[in-house]
């Protein structure tokens, strides 16, 4: 995988909105933190527009993202928020300049569509991390932002996690990939559908019906996306909903059952995704995974 240059003080980053609407007030706290890191900020010229639920029309969001992909002065692109809309612009983005001059792209949730496209089309590392709209001055948000800073500036080392009763012990290594389960499911059968063979797969989700989670995990299983993994890492699965049909099996139980026949290590409960703190992960990075009875970690 290709690793973009790490940031340094004085670099310029861009904040863009490829999905749902955003206001400037919602990102001021994060923007102040970026400035305190010694970074200059430019904004997509359309990013504070609102069309339907989107941050402008598809063409406007494409224009902003493309401009920042191609701008040689911009060293990283930070996505302002998720919501919905990234999948609508993927097939019109051009990565020709990006392949020659890669840069960091950061975001989570709906932005996992962009991460998947970057990995499948360019083989470049990107950062699954908290986004500006989610940032306040609270302790957990400060932790989330510190891990994003560590990823951008090349200081990521290791994440420790608490043991979980559903963990499957073992050690493994491989390229980290994945993201939001619902978003990845929406990419199945497209050019952006993730290749999971010999990868360490990360999954998270929020506010889904539990039977939807079961449907999506079953799809991954019967299409052999879970069969040839090097390891599985599960982040937040919060706010899940039961249905009128009475499907109540918890998300972690659904996943545990789906991978019971395999033998790779499985790590539940890493603090990443729609949780606080939301610690940054570098997709496309070769990582070591260690899962034991007294603790577990990911080493980048």
pLDDT tens figures, 104-153: 999 999 999 999 999 999 999 999 999 999 898 899 999 999 999 999 99
Backbone angles phi, psi at 13, to 5 degrees: -120, 160
Residue 6 lies in a domain: no
Identify whether residues 114 and 173 lie together within a single domain: no
Identify whether residues 169 and 72 lie together within a single domain: no
| CATH number, residue 85 | 3.40.50.10740
The band of 245, judged by pLDDT with boundaries at 50, 70 and 90, is confident
* Residue 300 pLDDT: 95
Residue 101 lies in a domain: yes
What does the block give as tokens for 136? Answer: 């306040």
Dihedral angle sign, alpha carbons of residues 86, 200, 150, 273: positive
The answer to whether 112 touches 79, Cβ cutoff 8 Å, is no
Q: Within a 10 A sphere around the Cβ of 121, how many other Cβ atoms? A: 15
Residue 143 lies in a domain: yes
Residue 102 lies in a domain: yes
Higher-pLDDT residue of 136, 229: 229
| CATH number, residue 180 | 3.50.30.60
Identify whether residues 207 and 173 lie together within a single domain: yes
Identify whether residues 206 and 295 lie together within a single domain: yes
Average pLDDT, the chain: 97
Identify whether residues 251 and 284 lie together within a single domain: yes
Residue 3 lies in a domain: no
The band of 34, judged by pLDDT with boundaries at 50, 70 and 90, is very high
Last residue of a domain, one of 116, 137, 153: 153
* Residue 137 pLDDT: 83
Identify whether residues 295 and 197 lie together within a single domain: yes
The band of 31, judged by pLDDT with boundaries at 50, 70 and 90, is very high
Identify whether residues 48 and 149 lie together within a single domain: yes
Identify whether residues 202 and 134 lie together within a single domain: no
* Residue 38 pLDDT: 98
The 199-206 sheet, strands edge to edge: 158-161, 296-299, 286-291, 170-180, 199-206, 231-238, 266-268
The band of 58, judged by pLDDT with boundaries at 50, 70 and 90, is very high
Identify whether residues 200 and 285 lie together within a single domain: yes
Last residue of a domain, one of 134, 153, 172: 153
Q: Is the pLDDT confidence value at 228 over 90?
A: yes
Identify whether residues 141 and 164 lie together within a single domain: no
Q: Is the pLDDT confidence value at 85 over 90?
A: yes
Last residue of a domain, one of 136, 153, 170: 153
Q: What is the mean pLDDT of residues 234-245?
A: 94
* Residue 143 pLDDT: 96
The band of 168, judged by pLDDT with boundaries at 50, 70 and 90, is very high
Q: Is 71 helix (H, G, I), strand (E, B) or coil?
A: coil
Q: What is the mean pLDDT of residues 147-162?
A: 96
- When divided into structural domains, the chain yields a total of 2
The beta-carbon contacts of 115-118 under 8 Å, at least 24 apart in sequence, are 115/179, 115/283, 116/179, 116/183, 116/184, 116/187, 116/192, 116/193, 116/194, 117/90, 117/93, 117/192, 118/284
* Residue 244 pLDDT: 86
Backbone angles phi, psi at 262, to 5 degrees: -95, 175
pTM above 0.95, yes or no: yes
Identify whether residues 176 and 293 lie together within a single domain: yes
Query: Where in the sequence is the domain holding 272, given as residue range(s)?
Result: 158-299
* Residue 256 pLDDT: 98
State the pairing for strand pair 12-16/158-161: unpaired
Residue 5 lies in a domain: no
Kindly report whether the peptide bond that precedes residue 300 is cis, defined as omega within 30 degrees of 0.
Answer: no
Backbone angles phi, psi at 64, to 5 degrees: -65, -50
Convert the pLDDT of each residue in 170-183 to its tens digit.
999 999 999 999 99
Provide the 8-state DSSP code for 113: H
The answer to whether 101 touches 72, Cβ cutoff 8 Å, is yes
Residue 131 lies in a domain: yes
Q: Is the pLDDT confidence value at 79 over 90?
A: yes
Residue 174 lies in a domain: yes
Identify whether residues 194 and 119 lie together within a single domain: no
* Residue 243 pLDDT: 87
* Residue 19 pLDDT: 98
Cross-strand pairs, 246: none
The band of 291, judged by pLDDT with boundaries at 50, 70 and 90, is very high
Q: Within a 10 A sphere around the Cβ of 90, how many other Cβ atoms? A: 20
């Amino acid at each position: 995988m290709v690793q973009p240059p790490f940031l340094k003080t004085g670099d310029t980053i861009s904040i863009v909105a490829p999905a749902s609407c955003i206001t400037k007030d919602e990102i001021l706290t994060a923007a102040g933190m970026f400035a305190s890191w010694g970074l200059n900020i430019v904004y997509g010229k359309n990013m504070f527009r609102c069309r339907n639920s989107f941050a402008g029309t598809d063409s406007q969001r494409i224009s902003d993202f493309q401009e920042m992909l191609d701008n040689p002065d911009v060293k990283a692109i930070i996505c302002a928020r998720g919501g919905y809309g990234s999948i609508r612009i993927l097939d019109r983005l051009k990565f020709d300049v990006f392949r020659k001059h890669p840069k960091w792209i950061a975001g989570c949730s709906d932005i996992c569509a962009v991460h998947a496209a970057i990995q499948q089309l360019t083989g470049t590392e990107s950062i699954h991390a908290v986004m500006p709209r989610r940032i306040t001055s609270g302790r957990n948000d400060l932790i989330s932002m510190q891990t994003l800073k560590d990823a951008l500036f090349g200081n990521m080392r290791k994440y420790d996690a608490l043991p979980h009763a559903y963990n499957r012990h073992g050690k493994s290594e491989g390229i980290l990939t994945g993201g939001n389960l619902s978003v990845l499911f929406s990419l199945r059968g497209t050019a952006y559908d993730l290749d999971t063979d010999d990868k360490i797969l990360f999954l998270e989700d929020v506010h889904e019906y539990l039977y939807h989670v079961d449907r999506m995990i079953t799809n991954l299983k019967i299409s052999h996306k879970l069969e040839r993994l090097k390891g599985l890492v599960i982040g937040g699965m919060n706010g899940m909903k039961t249905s009128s049909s009475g499907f109540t099996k918890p998300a972690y139980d659904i996943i545990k059952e789906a991978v019971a026949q395999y033998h790779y290590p499985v790590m539940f409960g890493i603090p990443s995704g729609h949780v606080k703190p939301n610690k940054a992960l570098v997709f496309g990075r070769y990582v070591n995974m260690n899962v034991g009875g007294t603790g577990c970690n990911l080493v980048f």
